[in-house]
Amino acid sequence: MDLQQLQRQAIAVHDLYDELNLAERGRIWDRQDFMLGFMGDAGDLAKLVMAAEGTRTMPGGRAALEHELADCLWSVLILAHRYEVDLPAAFMRSMTELEEAIGARLDGR
């Protein structure tokens, strides 16, 4: 599955959440709500990484870690969608810039 397929599935789930939130709360999430949700997921992921490294206790084990990684990816895909960012192009651009910058530093050692 490529990134565009992942984004299409993420958007389908996003649309279902819009329906659910509208039905249950009378409003849908805006971009800020998605960012705050992502921050919550990132915090949960941090706790699970700490548990995987033995520095804290958290229930769920590997399955919970996988779930939170997927939640964080979903949030990034949705934020890119909501801000109309071509994520594959932005990723490739950023990775190329990093490769060049790191390569230049390594060459200058």
pLDDT per residue over 29-82, tens digit each?
Answer: 999 999 999 999 999 999 999 999 999 998 999 999 999 999 999 999 999 999
Residues spanned by the domain of 65 = 31-107
Residue 10 lies inside a defined structural domain of this protein:
no
Residue 52 lies inside a defined structural domain of this protein:
yes
If you average pLDDT over residues 3-31, what whole number do you get? 97
What's the whole-model pTM score? 0.90
Q: Is the pLDDT of residue 1 over 90?
A: no
| Residue that wins the pLDDT comparison between 58 and 26 | 26
Residue 50 lies inside a defined structural domain of this protein:
yes
Please compute Rg for the chain using Cα positions.
Answer: 18
Residue 72 lies inside a defined structural domain of this protein:
yes
CATH number at residue 78: 1.10.287.1080
Residue 16 lies inside a defined structural domain of this protein:
no
> What total number of domains does the chain contain?
1
Per-residue pLDDT band for 102 (boundaries 50, 70, 90) equals very high
Residue 5 lies inside a defined structural domain of this protein:
no
Residue 20 lies inside a defined structural domain of this protein:
no
Per-residue pLDDT band for 109 (boundaries 50, 70, 90) equals confident
Rounded to an integer, what distance in angstroms lies between the CA atom of residue 77 and that of residue 16?
Answer: 15
Rounded to an integer, what distance in angstroms lies between the CA atom of residue 3 and that of residue 50?
Answer: 28
Residue 43 lies inside a defined structural domain of this protein:
yes
Per-residue pLDDT band for 108 (boundaries 50, 70, 90) equals confident
